[in-house]
Amino acid sequence: MAEWWRDFFDENYLKVYRRRDTKTTDQEVAFARRILRLRKGQRALDVCCGYGRHAVRLACSGIQMTGIDQSAVLLHRAKRAARRQGVTIEWIEGDVRAMEFEPVFDAAYNVFTSIGYFDAEEDNVQVVLRSAAALKPGGRFLLDTINRDRITRNPQSQRWAPIGRGVELENSRYDWERGRLDSKRVLIMDDGSRRESVISLRLYTVAEVRAMFERAGLQITNVFGSFTATKFDPDSPRIIVVGRKPVRAQRKTKRSKARR
Ligand SMILES: C[S@@+](CC[C@H](N)C(=O)[O-])C[C@H]1O[C@@H](n2cnc3c(N)ncnc32)[C@H](O)[C@@H]1O
């Protein structure tokens, strides 16, 4: 499938999501700050930062933020928001599949289903591997995505929602063989303009997210089902997994040393 995400995150995305309840974002930020144990002066990386709704708030509370995203439109908004709040953030326009940071961050996070976009599964895994590589020893990574188990209870769905000056309609179908949720979204604005987008997301089970963390060398510290810190269960709206980079590389056992 074409790389739908390249032009999906534009002015239209902002029309739908820009008004995302500020209380929800405040709650997500407070939760992430607590679970990632972020303290004033520490460094954090927002992987797929969008228009910076989390990064700007965290910077306002004294965290040194870096945000990376491929969307020039959303980054433009992010920069404006940071300027308005009087905070300095390092914004990087780039593809997360190729990001390479020195291990300087105390924490990193990837939230609001910003993983699973790529057709090649190895590309999706790279998001976790490269986020983990950016952490200092002892640093923490939080990943938040849709809970596949919940979606599979209702694999075909339709919804509509009012947006600023129009309405958004969405038809979705979970494809069991590919493990992907394919959706068609139509935005119909009051002025009669219409925009159609096709979206495809690889959904994950907790076991699959855990496997990605383990491959990245992260020790899993928490698994939640929402930003209110509820315990994960198959009906949870979200999968939120938190992992920690070991402080020291795992000691080699006597036997494995002897073999060298
Ligand atoms: C659902 S939005 C979430 C944005 C932000 N985390 C939030 O919660 O508001 C997903 C973001 O991932 C970004 N993205 C998608 N593919 C990307 C890629 N290959 N490299 C960098 N960013 C990407 C999009 O531009 C978009 O901003």
Q: How far is the CA of 232 from the centre of ligand 1 (A)?
A: 24
Residues 24 and 128 in one domain: yes
**Cα–ligand 1 centroid distance for 150 (angstroms):** 23
pLDDT > 90: percent of the chain: 85
85 lies in the same domain as 160: no
130 and 195 belong to one structural domain: no
Pocket test for ligand 1, best of 69, 119, 238 (most atoms within 8 A of CB): 69
Residue 184 belongs to domain spanning: 151-199
Q: Which of 114, 124, 240 to mutate to test the pocket of ligand 1 (most atoms within 8 A of CB)?
A: 114
Residue 152 has a pLDDT of 96
Per-residue pLDDT, 237: 97
Q: What are the residue ranges in the chain where pLDDT is below 70?
A: 1, 19-20, 249-260
Indicate whether 124 and 173 sit together in one domain.
no
pLDDT (tens digit per residue) in 138-164 = 999 999 999 999 999 999 999 998 887
- 94: domain CATH number is 3.40.50.150
The ligand 1 atom at the shortest distance from the C-alpha of residue 110 is: 6
59 with 177, same domain: the answer is no
pLDDT of residue 19: 67
| pTM exceeding 0.75 | yes
Whether 96 and 183 map to the same domain: the answer is no
Residues 65 and 86 in one domain: yes
| One domain for residues 40 and 68 | yes
Q: Do 91 and 212 lie in a common domain?
A: yes
Cα 48 to averaged position of ligand 1 atoms, centre (Å):
4
Structural domain tally of the chain? 2
What one-letter code names the amino acid at 221? T
187 and 208 housed in the same domain: no
